[in-house]
Copies of this chain bind each other. A is one copy, B any other.
Amino acid sequence: MTKPVALLFDVFGTCVDWRASIARDVAKAALAKGKRFDFFAFADDWRANYQPSMEVVRSGKRPYTKLDTLHRETLVELLGKYGLPLSEPEIDDLNFAWHRLDPWPDTVAGLTRLKTRYLLSPLSNGNVRLLVDMARHAKLPWDTVLSTEVFKGYKPQPQTYLGACDMFGCEPGQVMMVAAHNNDLLAAQKLGLQTAFVARPTEYGPHQKVDFAPEGEWTLVARDFVHLAELLDV
């Protein structure tokens, strides 16, 4: 293989553990109101509306809308379902739990090693501000923060992958997409990007049904980000 110039990372599930982090912040908000329920179920429900809410944008039924806005709409519904009354500022704060997601244990160590040789950026459906705040919170050492927001779309729309390559001044073959999701890698591969699969078998907790293993001819398959650095000779 020819070494890539730049690595693009899926973020939710690949770099950070959204489920545990969201459950934690939901717990904090609920317990402050004397409410108890299954905080992980709340996190799962929130995430369950992720693809449907983006699909309305991808299909053209709705103009580009930031993920922060989509997340907040889902949150308001769930606060009703779970019986957790919050003020508008409290809703805003809980919605920003997605800006405060914790990294997997290997994420920062792996990225730090990879940065010694490769340009690094997220390519996430999270909006720029979400990813910038998360980079500060989780100490993710990005060179820049590319979001699909920059391309006014959502993965797997082609302009998001190709736009990111263009911003790095690279041909698709000079860029590697890193993700824990086979469908993300498939979309990138079809456009000519290199691909690396890193399994995150606990992303969805006990409900995980897919992505336990690579399901395509990916350029690399790594156990974690430190292993990815080893495979990429850094």
Q: Which positions in A face B, CB cutoff 8 Å? A: 66, 68, 119, 127-129, 131-132, 135-136, 142-145, 149-150, 167-169
Contact = CB atoms under 8 A, between A and B. Distances in A.
A5 to B, nearest CB: 10
User: Copy number of this protein in the oligomer?
Assistant: 2
Given A135-B143, A143-B145, A169 B129 contact: yes
A123 B234 CA distance: 32
B68 A132 contact: no
A107 B143 CA distance: 18
Nearest to A127: B169
Contacts of A167: 127-129, 149-150
B119 A168 contact: no
15 contacts: A119-B132, A127-B167, A128-B168, A129-B167, A129-B168, A129-B169, A132-B144, A135-B143, A135-B144, A136-B143, A143-B145, A144-B144, A144-B145, A150-B150, A150-B167
